[in-house]
Structure 1
Amino acid sequence: MNQRSLGNTGIDVSEIAFGGVEIGLPYGPGIRSQKDMMQEEEAVGLLRHALDKGINFFDTARMYGRSERLMGKAFVDIREKVILCSKCQHLRDSSGQLPTPSRLTALIHRSLEESLGALGTDYLDVWMLHQADLEILRHETVCRVFQDIQKAGKVRVIGASTYTVPESETAIRSGVWQVVQLPFNLLDQRQAVVFDLAAEKGVGLVVRSVLLRGMLTDRGRHLKAPLNKIESHIARYRDLAGNNHIDLPEYATRFVLAQAQVSAVLLGIDRLEYLDVAVETAAKGLIPEALLRGARPFPDPEFIDIPHWDRMGWLD
């Protein structure tokens, strides 16, 4: 497994990062409850197997159910061998408001201590804002508290998980957030406009949504009528991949790995076979030029909204 520099942080990470949401809570196609998930010992074994395969970068969050605890159990005796990234709990309340500065400070500190306890460690390699919007990214108290925690040595690097291009650009330009986790994939390539800026500023980029919640796999077939244009676009990718003797998930993953500014590709993994395929895919190196040329994004990226599709019943 190749490693890449995480921006200018001095940390080297495996180019495939283990996404911990799927082992932590019901998430993804066909996963409705804990009975559909891996058993605890299986998940711990999967995490150890990932490390054996060369993955050293493990991503989780306070909001990912049992994920932090499972990673703590898996790596309790080999903490120095892994790069642990977690995320603070959501800062807004149920009405969408941010707490007062004093309560916000207490919330952030409490979230960190809970993460450290669950992970069984006294420091995090990377600690991020979760669902960081523009107000949060610029919030004086949020920035100060995260930087104070970093100075205290409880966190090596601080970052932010973003959704929109303006959020990513704000984080990269801030001089505060050293790592940005953002969505980017074959269908939705909007975030590519910040890649060179991140490289210039020395900010590490971690890409999620590489397979777009399974849409860039066999799940992207036989979709309901409102998604016909999406399905047709995915079919073009599938045909192009087939013409180059690979499958669609490999195409989607290697396309993102081909972006030189990207430090790591975050893949949600909850099966041994998914892990092995991810490792094999990363080992294949440069993607054929024809696949790069054919990687045209969906022409209406604003339409790409998996939660909305789910609410509308288009994914049933």
Structure 2
Amino acid sequence: MRQRKLGKTGLSVSEIAFGGVEIGLPYGIGVNDQSDMLSHSEAVSLLHAALEGGINFFDTARLYGESETIMGKAFFNRRKDVVIATKCKHFRDADGTIPAYSSLKKIIEGSLTESLAALQTDYVDVFMLHQADIQILENEDVRRVFLDLKESGRIRATGASTYAAEEAMLAIDSKAWDVIQLPFNLMDQRQQTVFSAAASQGVGLVIRSVLLKGLLSSKGRDLHPALHEVEAHIKKYRSLLDESTIDLPSLATKFALSFGEVSSVLVGIDRLNYLQESLRTADGVYFDEQKLAKAKALQYPDPSFLDLPKWDRLGWLK
């Protein structure tokens, strides 16, 4: 497993990052409750296998159920071998407003304290905003609290998890966030517009949703009738398969890793075979210019339609 620099943080991270949401709570297509998940001991064994396989970058969040606790059990005696990114819990008031500085500081610092306890560590490598929108990113108090935590040494780098390209660009331009986590995949390539700016500012880019919540895998079949065009489009990617990319998940992952501006690709892993597939995929052999151009040309024509939370609410992902 190769490593890449995480922007200007001084950290080097594996090309594949272990996405920890699936080991912490029911998440993803076909996962309905605790019975569909690994036990704590199984999850710890999976994390150990990932580390032994060359993955050193692990992503979690305060809101990912038992994920932080499980990672704490797995890595408490191997802390120096891993890079851990976690996310702050949400801090808006019930009416959606961002609290005043003193309350905001208490919430964010309290979230970090809880994360440190669960992770059994005294520092977090990357402490991130969870679902950062324009209002949050423009708030000077939010930036101040995170930068003070970095100055204190309790976190090594600041980060923001964003959804829209406008949000990612704002985070990059603010110069307050060392790492940006954003969605990018074969179907929805809109975020590529911020890649060069991130590279020039020394901001590390971590890609998530590379498999579009499993749609860019064997799960992208026999979809709800409302997603007929999406399923038909997914089939077009078969034309890009070859000896180095024998299936859709490896194609989707290698596509994201073909961009030099990308530090790491976040893959949700909750089974040993998923881990093994990810380790095989990150082999250092990615798309040449011709294949990359073909993949770019096959983005979904209406990426705004790819609203998976909405599809889930409508029952289209059952």
Give the TM-score of the pair, scaled to structure 1: 0.97
For the residues of structure 1 that align with 2:289 and 2:104, how far apart are their CA atoms? 49
For the residues of structure 2 that align with 1:214 and 1:94, how far apart are their CA atoms? 32
Which residue pairs with 2:107 in the alignment?
Answer: 107
Which residue pairs with 2:255 in the alignment?
Answer: 255
Which residue pairs with 1:307 in the alignment?
Answer: 309
Which residue pairs with 1:131 in the alignment?
Answer: 131
Change (3 A) 1:197 1:256: same
Which residue pairs with 1:291 in the alignment?
Answer: 291
Deviation at 1:288, TM superposition (A): 5.1
Which residue pairs with 1:41 in the alignment?
Answer: 41
For the residues of structure 2 that align with 1:30 and 1:21, how far apart are their CA atoms? 15
For the residues of structure 1 that align with 2:284 and 2:249, how far apart are their CA atoms? 13
- Shifted more, 109-118 versus 280-289: the winner is 280-289
For the residues of structure 2 that align with 1:284 and 1:225, how far apart are their CA atoms? 38
* Runs of 4+ displaced beyond 4 Å: 242-245
Deviation at 1:312, TM superposition (A): 1.3
Deviation at 1:115, TM superposition (A): 0.3
For the residue of structure 2 that corresponds to 1:218, the secondary structure is coil
Whichever residue aligns with residue 311 of structure 1, its letter is: R
Deviation at 1:289, TM superposition (A): 5.0
Q: What does 1:72-111 align with in structure 2 at a 5 Å threshold?
A: 72-111=72-111
Deviation at 1:284, TM superposition (A): 5.0
Which residue pairs with 1:52 in the alignment?
Answer: 52
What CA deviation, in whole Å up to 9, does each residue of 1:47-81 have, x standing for no partner? 01100000000000000000000001000111011
Contact in 2 for aligned 1:251/1:291 (Cα 8 Å)? no
For the residue of structure 1 that corresponds to 2:17, the secondary structure is strand
Change (3 A) 1:170 1:245: closer
Contact in 2 for aligned 1:7/1:263 (Cα 8 Å)? yes
What CA deviation, in whole Å up to 9, does each residue of 1:143-194 have, x standing for no partner? 1111111101100000100000110000011110010000000000000000
What RMSD over aligned residues (CA atoms) do the two structures have, in Å?
Answer: 1.3
Contact in 1 for aligned 2:61/2:68 (Cα 8 Å)? yes
Contact in 2 for aligned 1:241/1:291 (Cα 8 Å)? no
What CA deviation, in whole Å up to 9, does each residue of 1:67-113 have, x standing for no partner? 00000100011101100110000122343222222111110010000
Whichever residue aligns with residue 304 of structure 1, its letter is: L
Identity among equivalent positions (%) equals: 55
Which residue pairs with 2:152 in the alignment?
Answer: 152
Q: What does 1:1-316 align with in structure 2 at a 5 Å threshold?
A: 1-241=1-241, 246-287=246-287, 289=289, 291-295=291-295, 296-316=298-318
For the residues of structure 2 that align with 1:68 and 1:117, how far apart are their CA atoms? 9
Contact in 1 for aligned 2:2/2:284 (Cα 8 Å)? no
Change (3 A) 1:245 1:276: closer
Give the TM-score of the pair, scaled to structure 2: 0.96
For the residues of structure 2 that align with 1:91 and 1:212, how far apart are their CA atoms? 27
For the residue of structure 2 that corresponds to 1:89, the secondary structure is coil
Deviation at 1:285, TM superposition (A): 1.4
For the residues of structure 2 that align with 1:245 and 1:50, how far apart are their CA atoms? 21
Change (3 A) 1:289 1:175: closer
Change (3 A) 1:212 1:118: same
For the residue of structure 2 that corresponds to 1:186, the secondary structure is coil
User: Aligned residues, how many?
Assistant: 316
For the residues of structure 2 that align with 1:310 and 1:161, how far apart are their CA atoms? 21
Whichever residue aligns with residue 306 of structure 2, its letter is: I
Contact in 1 for aligned 2:23/2:66 (Cα 8 Å)? yes
For the residue of structure 2 that corresponds to 1:270, the secondary structure is coil
Name stretches of at least 5 consecutive residues in structure 2 with no aligned partner.
Answer: none
Deviation at 1:291, TM superposition (A): 3.5
